[in-house]
């Protein structure tokens, strides 16, 4: 039996009077890549962002149910614990978003906030993370340039480096390749495949092909409801729900 890292129980999210997530009950396995798939606008991103309580910053949002991580319901926690909860989960957005600072400072950002590390220790961490993200060779000579000068693909890898710099347990990725050219997209996918050995990766994607390439476990979300979930093999070869079959065959998209 797989280890469960994140579990939701009866998760309901209402946003601007729209019932976006309806009674979502899922289990995300640890140290695997779970893909959340489904047509656009069905709540995939909302589900993802509920895991690190990023939904809190929006107006007009009502969340009920439980989200259990490491045996604790994170929805129970009060405001002062949230930064630590968020630290456990790194986020990679759809649009590459480097912070308005140098490449070095971007990666060091999280560490600087949480700890007092010496310059040498920070240098080490930055180097290690940039190497993990496959960016080190391209930027090692210009660490102190503004991060906005990088190309989109490089920026996305920078965001990845930044996310892993605080040693999260989970990586939440919201369609991270949809804004990138095919080559950069491929690089990111390769990185995710490498990283899933160390981190639990949750990937929102609306391309089935991408899910086929990288996912170990799939969750199909349709209009805010979980239609089907299962291992990649079971899902693609033996879909149980008719809606899943329709989606896989391209009848709904």
Q: Find the shortest distance in angstroms from Cβ 25 to another protein.
A: 25
Give the strand pairing for 33-37 and 200-204. parallel
CA distances in angstroms from 143 to 99, 231, 240, listed in the order given: 14, 41, 50
Q: Find the shortest distance in angstroms from Cβ 19 to another protein.
A: 20
Interatomic CA distance for residues 147 and 139, integer angstroms: 10
Residue 36 or 226 with smaller CB distance to another protein: 36
Q: Report whether 226 contacts 219 (CB < 8 A).
A: yes
Residue 114 or 245 with smaller CB distance to another protein: 114
188: nearest Cα among 175, 199, 200: 175
Q: Find the shortest distance in angstroms from Cβ 170 to another protein.
A: 11
Residue 42 or 54 with smaller CB distance to another protein: 54
Q: Find the shortest distance in angstroms from Cβ 136 to another protein.
A: 20
Residue 126 or 165 with smaller CB distance to another protein: 165
Interatomic CA distance for residues 60 and 125, integer angstroms: 39
Q: What DSSP designation does 16 have? A: T
Interface with another protein (CB under 8 A): 49, 52, 54, 57, 59-60, 80, 83-84, 86-87, 89-91, 93-95, 97, 99-101, 109-110, 113-116, 146, 148, 159, 162-163, 165-166, 172
């Amino acid at each position: 039996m797989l280890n469960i890292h994140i579990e939701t129980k009866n998760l309901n999210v209402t946003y601007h009077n729209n019932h976006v997530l309806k009674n979502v009950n899922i289990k995300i396995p640890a140290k695997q890549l779970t893909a959340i798939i489904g047509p656009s606008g069905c709540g995939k991103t909302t589900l993802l962002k509920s895991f690190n309580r990023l939904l809190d910053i929006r107006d007009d949002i009502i969340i009920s149910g439980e989200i259990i991580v490491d045996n604790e319901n994170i929805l129970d926690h009060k405001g002062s614990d949230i930064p630590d909860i968020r630290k456990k989960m790194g986020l990679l957005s759809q649009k590459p978003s480097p912070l308005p600072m140098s490449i070095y400072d971007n990666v060091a950002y999280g560490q600087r906030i949480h700890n007092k590390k010496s310059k040498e220790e920070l240098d080490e961490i930055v180097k290690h993370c940039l190497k993990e993200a496959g960016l080190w060779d391209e930027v090692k000579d210009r660490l102190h340039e503004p991060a906005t000068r990088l190309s989109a693909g490089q920026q996305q890898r920078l965001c990845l480096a930044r996310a892993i710099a605080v040693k999260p347990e989970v990586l939440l990725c919201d369609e991270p390749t949809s804004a990138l050219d095919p080559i950069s997209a491929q690089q990111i996918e390769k990185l995710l495949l490498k990283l899933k050995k160390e981190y639990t990766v949750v990937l929102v994607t609306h391309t089935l092909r991408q899910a086929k390439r990288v996912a170990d476990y799939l969750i199909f979300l349709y209009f805010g409801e979980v239609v089907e979930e299962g291992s990649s093999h079971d899902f693609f070869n033996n879909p149980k729900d008719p809606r899943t079959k329709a989606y896989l065959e391209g009848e709904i998209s």
